[in-house]
C-alpha cells in the first residue's frame, strides 16, 4: 500500500506518529469559518484523539472529507496533519451528452467520481449537430424533433437505428442539485453559431439557405450554421438561454463558438448585409459580433460567457469572456491571457479523453503542464483552470465512457489541484490503483492498468490503425 493513497495528492503532510482505525464512532470535530484558509482549502488532522477538520467554507470541509474517505482504504490510517488548497480555481470535466446520451444514473456516478477527485465544475455539452438534449419549452420542436437523429455514423461504429434522448427540466434540476451537494457547479453549454444542425433541422428558416436538413448523423464539421443576419436566430438563442439560466444557477454559461465554417456566411445576402451595417471586415469578425451579442445578453442577466478558442479569431472578444483553449495553432489564446483574459486549458493532445490510450497515454495527460508555451508571467496568472473533455462519438455506452475517462480524468484532477513540485506519475499510478475499489463501489470501472501507458510498439500500432481507417480521417479533420 502506498503511503497516502490520496488523489489529488495533498500539498503539505506531516506524520504525527502512530496509526488509528477510523470506526464510525471515532470522534470527529468540524470547524467551519476558520480563519486563514483559501475558500477551498482545509486542514485535516488525524490522531488517536480523533479526526479534526478545519476550513473557511463548506467546500474545504467537503474536500477534507474526500481525503479522509480515500485514506480509509488503508484500513489503519497513519496519524497525520494535512493542509491543502487547490492550484486552480476551475477544475472541470466536460461530458458530451449529444453524440451519445448519458442517462441520469450514469451522470450521477460520474459526478460522484468527479467529487471524489475534488473537481469543481461539470460542463454539460447539451447541444450539437447530432442532437438537442435539453428540454426547451419556448421552441418546442427543439426537443420534439431535434432530440432524435435518424442514425449514428461515427467511423466504424455505424448504427442505422434512430437514436435520441433529452433531459427534462426536472432531470436537469436534479443534476444541478446532485452536483451542488458535492460542491460542483454545472456549466451548461449551448453551442453556437456552428454545431447547430439539430436547431436547423427543426427551424430551417434559421440557416443561411433555408434548406430542410435532418439532425446530423455523422461526426465532424457541418457547413450549415445559424444565419448571423437573421434576427429570429437571436430570438431563439435568447429564449433558449433564458430557460437555461432558469435551471442552471452557474456563474458561467458556455456558448460554444468552435468550428463554425464561414462558407454559408460568405454566400448569404443577409449575413453580408449585417456585416456592412455593423462595419465588420470579414466573416470572422461577424462571428465576434455574434458572440459578443450573446455575451452582452448573458452579462445583462448577471452571467459570464465561456467560449471555445476559435472565437478569438475575430479579434473582437473582450476579457469579459472566459476562453476555453483546445486547439489554437496561432497562439491567440496565449495572447488573450497575456493581455488579461482568463483561459481554461483543455489541450486536444492531452486532455481529450476520447482518444485511445495509444495516442494519449496516461503519462502524457499526467505530465502535461497547463501553463503552456507562449504565456508570460501575467498570462500564467490568467490560467483560470483546466478541464478534461469526454467527447462521446466513440463511447456508445457508460462502460466505454468510464474506460476512456479513468484514470486520465483523475490525472487532470491532480494537475488542477497540485503544485507542480509534487507531481510524480509512478506514485500517482500506485495511488489510483489503491483507490480503484472506491470507484468500483461507485459503479465506475476504469481501463485496466495494462492499457494506461502502452509500449512504443503498441502505440505505433494504435496510431497506424487510427489513421488507416478512412472514416476516422473525418474525425481528425473534424477536430481542426
Ligand atoms: C471542440 O473540440 N470542437 C471544442
Ligand atoms: Zn446568413
CA distance 120 to 384: 13
**In angstroms, how far is the first alpha carbon of the chain from the final one?**
43
Cβ(354) – ligand 1 distance below 6 Å = no
Residue 204 CA, ligand 2 centroid: distance in Å: 12
For residue 276, the model assigns a pLDDT of: 98
**97-140 tens-digit pLDDT:** 999 999 999 999 999 999 999 999 999 999 999 999 999 999 99
Both 220 and 338 in one domain: the answer is yes
For residue 460, the model assigns a pLDDT of: 84
Element (H, E) at 232: helix 231-247
Last residue of a domain, one of 40, 55, 84: 84
Better-scored residue on pLDDT, 242 or 469: 242
- Residue 284 vs residues 164, 259, 281, 288: alpha-carbon distances, Å: 33, 11, 8, 6
Cβ(387) – ligand 1 distance below 6 Å = no
To the nearest 10°, report the CA torsion of 401, 403, 405, 406.
Answer: 150
The answer, yes or no, to whether residue 157 has pLDDT greater than 90, is no
Both 219 and 70 in one domain: the answer is no
The residue whose CB lies within 8 Å of the most ligand 1 atoms, and thus the one to mutate among 220, 327, 328, is 327
Cβ(308) – ligand 1 distance below 6 Å = yes
Whether residue 372 lies inside any domain: the answer is yes
Least confidently predicted of 131-140, 225-234, 385-394, 414-423: 414-423
For residue 421, the model assigns a pLDDT of: 55
- Residue 211 vs residues 148, 191, 215: alpha-carbon distances, Å: 19, 21, 13
Question: Which atom in ligand 1 lies closest to the alpha carbon of residue 195?
Answer: 3
Q: Give the cell for residue 370.
A: 497547463
Q: Which of 368, 364, 344, 367 is nearest to 355 (CA)?
A: 364
Length of the chain: 480
| Count of beta carbons in the 10 Å neighbourhood of residue 165 | 14
Cβ(42) – ligand 1 distance below 6 Å = no
Cβ(265) – ligand 1 distance below 6 Å = no
Last residue of a domain, one of 54, 84, 114: 84
CA distance 132 to 198: 6
Q: Which of 378, 365, 387, 366 is nearest to 334 (CA)?
A: 378
Whether residue 6 lies inside any domain: the answer is no
Residue 264 CA, ligand 2 centroid: distance in Å: 7
CA distance 36 to 55: 9
Q: List helix spans (H) across 259-376.
A: 263-267, 269-278, 283-300, 332-338, 348-351, 362-367
pLDDT classification of 469: cutoffs 50, 70, 90 = low
In DSSP terms, which residues pair with 189 in a beta bridge?
Answer: 125, 254
Contact residues for 381 (Cβ-Cβ < 8 A; gap 6+): none
Both 339 and 469 in one domain: the answer is yes
Last residue of a domain, one of 84, 116, 142: 84
For residue 468, the model assigns a pLDDT of: 67
CA distance 271 to 423: 50
Burial of 21 from C-beta contacts in 10 A (0-12 / 13-18 / 19+)? exposed
Both 33 and 160 in one domain: the answer is no
Question: Which atom in ligand 1 lies closest to the alpha carbon of residue 259?
Answer: 3
Q: Where are the beta strands (DSSP E) in 178-257?
A: 185-192, 252-256
Element (H, E) at 378: helix 377-381
Cβ(153) – ligand 1 distance below 6 Å = no
Counted domains in the chain: 2
Q: Looking up cell 467529487, which residue turns up? A: 115
Both 179 and 36 in one domain: the answer is no
Q: Give the cell for residue 359.
A: 495516442
For residue 441, the model assigns a pLDDT of: 98
Whether residue 57 lies inside any domain: the answer is yes
Helix axes 408-417, 398-405, angle to 10 degrees: 50
Q: Which of 370, 331, 325 is nearest to 348 (CA)?
A: 325
For residue 470, the model assigns a pLDDT of: 45
Both 80 and 103 in one domain: the answer is no
Both 331 and 392 in one domain: the answer is yes
Mean pLDDT of 69-94: 97
Q: Which of 55, 75, 72, 51 is nearest to 63 (CA)?
A: 55
Question: Which atom in ligand 1 lies closest to the alpha carbon of residue 326?
Answer: 4
CA distance 443 to 280: 52
Both 80 and 106 in one domain: the answer is no
Q: Looking up cell 454539460, which residue turns up? A: 124
| Count of beta carbons in the 10 Å neighbourhood of residue 432 | 24
Mean pLDDT of the chain: 95
| Count of beta carbons in the 10 Å neighbourhood of residue 63 | 26
Whether residue 2 lies inside any domain: the answer is no
Whether residue 3 lies inside any domain: the answer is no
- Cα 166 from chain centre: 19
Whether residue 160 lies inside any domain: the answer is yes
Nearest ligand to the C-alpha of residue 352?
Answer: 1
Q: What is the pTM of this model?
A: 0.96
Whether residue 7 lies inside any domain: the answer is no
Both 431 and 470 in one domain: the answer is yes
Nearest CA to ligand 1 atom 2: 479
Mean pLDDT of 3-31: 95
| CATH code, domain carrying 21 | 3.30.379.10
Residue 301 CA, ligand 1 centroid: distance in Å: 26
Q: Which domain holds residue 64?
A: 12-84
Mean pLDDT of 335-350: 98
For residue 418, the model assigns a pLDDT of: 85
**363-396 tens-digit pLDDT:** 999 999 999 999 999 999 999 999 999 999 999 9
**236-277 tens-digit pLDDT:** 999 999 999 999 999 999 999 999 999 999 999 999 999 999
Burial of 14 from C-beta contacts in 10 A (0-12 / 13-18 / 19+)? exposed
For residue 472, the model assigns a pLDDT of: 54
Nearest CA to ligand 1 atom 3: 258
Both 116 and 190 in one domain: the answer is yes
Both 359 and 468 in one domain: the answer is yes
Least confidently predicted of 76-80, 343-347, 453-457: 453-457
Strand order in the sheet with 28-31: 12-21, 76-84, 42-47, 50-54, 28-31
Residue 229 CA, ligand 2 centroid: distance in Å: 5
- Residue 165 vs residues 148, 217, 384: alpha-carbon distances, Å: 7, 14, 33
| CATH code, domain carrying 417 | 3.20.20.80
For residue 243, the model assigns a pLDDT of: 98
The residue whose CB lies within 8 Å of the most ligand 1 atoms, and thus the one to mutate among 129, 220, 258, is 258
The C-alpha R_g of the chain, in whole angstroms, comes to: 23
| Count of beta carbons in the 10 Å neighbourhood of residue 107 | 22
Q: Which of 407, 453, 412 is nearest to 432 (CA)?
A: 407
DSSP assigned state of 56:
S
Least confidently predicted of 106-110, 174-178, 310-314, 468-472: 468-472
| Count of beta carbons in the 10 Å neighbourhood of residue 52 | 17
Cβ(258) – ligand 1 distance below 6 Å = yes
Both 337 and 192 in one domain: the answer is yes
Cβ(326) – ligand 1 distance below 6 Å = yes
Amino acid at each position: 500500500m502506498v503511503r497516502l493513497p490520496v488523489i489529488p495528492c495533498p500539498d503539505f503532510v506531516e506524520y504525527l506518529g502512530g496509526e488509528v482505525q477510523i470506526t464510525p464512532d471515532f470522534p470527529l470535530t468540524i470547524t467551519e469559518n476558520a480563519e486563514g484558509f483559501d475558500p477551498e482549502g482545509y486542514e485535516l488532522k488525524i490522531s488517536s484523539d480523533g479526526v479534526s477538520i478545519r476550513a473557511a467554507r463548506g467546500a474545504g470541509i467537503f474536500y477534507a472529507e474526500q481525503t479522509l474517505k480515500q485514506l480509509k482504504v488503508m484500513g489503519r490510517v497513519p496519524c497525520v496533519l494535512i493542509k491543502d488548497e487547490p492550484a486552480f480555481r476551475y477544475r472541470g470535466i466536460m461530458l458530451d451528452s449529444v453524440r451519445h446520451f448519458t442517462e441520469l444514473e450514469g451522470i450521477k456516478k460520474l459526478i460522484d467520481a468527479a467529487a471524489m477527485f475534488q473537481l469543481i465544475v461539470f460542463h454539460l455539452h447539451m447541444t450539437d449537430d447530432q442532437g438537442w438534449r435539453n428540454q426547451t419549452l419556448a421552441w418546442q420542436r427543439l426537443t420534439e424533433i431535434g432530440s432524435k437523429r435518424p442514425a449514428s455514423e461515427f467511423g466504424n461504429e455505424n448504427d442505422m437505428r434512430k437514436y435520441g434522448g433529452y433531459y427534462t427540466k426536472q432531470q436537469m434540476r436534479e443534476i444541478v442539485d446532485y452536483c451542488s451537494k458535492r460542491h460542483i457547479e454545472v456549466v451548461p453549454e449551448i453551442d453556437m453559431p456552428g454545431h447547430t444542425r439539430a436547431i436547423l433541422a427543426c427551424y430551417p428558416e434559421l440557416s443561411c439557405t433555408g434548406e430542410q436538413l435532418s439532425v446530423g448523423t455523422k461526426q465532424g464539421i457541418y457547413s450549415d450554421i445559424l444565419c448571423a443576419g437573421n434576427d429570429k436566430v437571436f430570438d431563439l438563442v435568447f429564449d433558449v438561454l433564458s430557460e437555461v439560466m432558469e435551471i442552471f444557477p452557474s456563474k458561467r454559461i458556455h456558448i460554444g463558438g468552435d468550428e463554425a465554417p464561414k462558407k454559408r456566411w460568405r454566400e448569404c445576402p443577409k449575413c453580408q448585409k449585417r456585416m456592412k451595417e455593423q462595419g465588420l471586415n470579414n466573416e470572422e469578425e461577424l462571428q465576434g459580433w455574434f458572440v459578443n451579442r450573446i455575451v452582452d445578453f448573458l452579462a445583462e442577466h448577471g452571467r459570464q460567457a465561456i467560449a471555445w478558442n476559435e472565437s478569438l479569431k475575430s479579434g473582437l472578444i473582450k476579457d469579459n469572456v472566459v476562453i476555453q483553449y483546445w486547439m489554437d495553432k496561432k497562439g491567440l489564446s496565449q495572447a488573450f491571457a497575456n493581455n488579461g483574459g482568463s483561459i481554461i486549458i483543455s489541450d486536444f493532445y492531452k486532455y481529450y479523453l476520447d482518444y485511445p490510450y495509444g495516442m494519449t497515454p496516461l503519462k502524457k495527460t499526467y505530465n502535461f503542464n497547463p501553463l503552456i508555451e507562449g504565456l508570460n508571467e501575467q498570462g500564467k496568472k490568467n490560467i483560470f483552470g483546466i478541464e478534461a473533455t469526454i467527447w462521446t462519438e466513440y463511447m456508445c455506452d457508460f462502460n466505454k465512457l468510464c474506460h476512456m475517462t479513468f484514470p486520465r480524468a483523475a490525472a487532470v484532477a491532480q494537475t488542477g489541484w497540485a503544485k507542480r513540485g509534487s507531481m510524480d506519475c509512478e506514485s500517482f499510478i500506485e495511488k489510483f490503483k489503491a483507490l480503484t475499489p472506491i470507484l468500483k463501489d461507485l459503479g465506475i470501472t476504469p481501463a485496466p492498468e495494462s492499457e494506461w501507458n502502452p509500449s512504443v510498439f503498441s502505440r505505433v500500432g494504435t496510431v497506424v490503425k487510427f489513421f488507416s481507417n478512412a472514416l476516422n480521417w473525418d474525425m481528425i479533420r473534424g477536430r481542426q
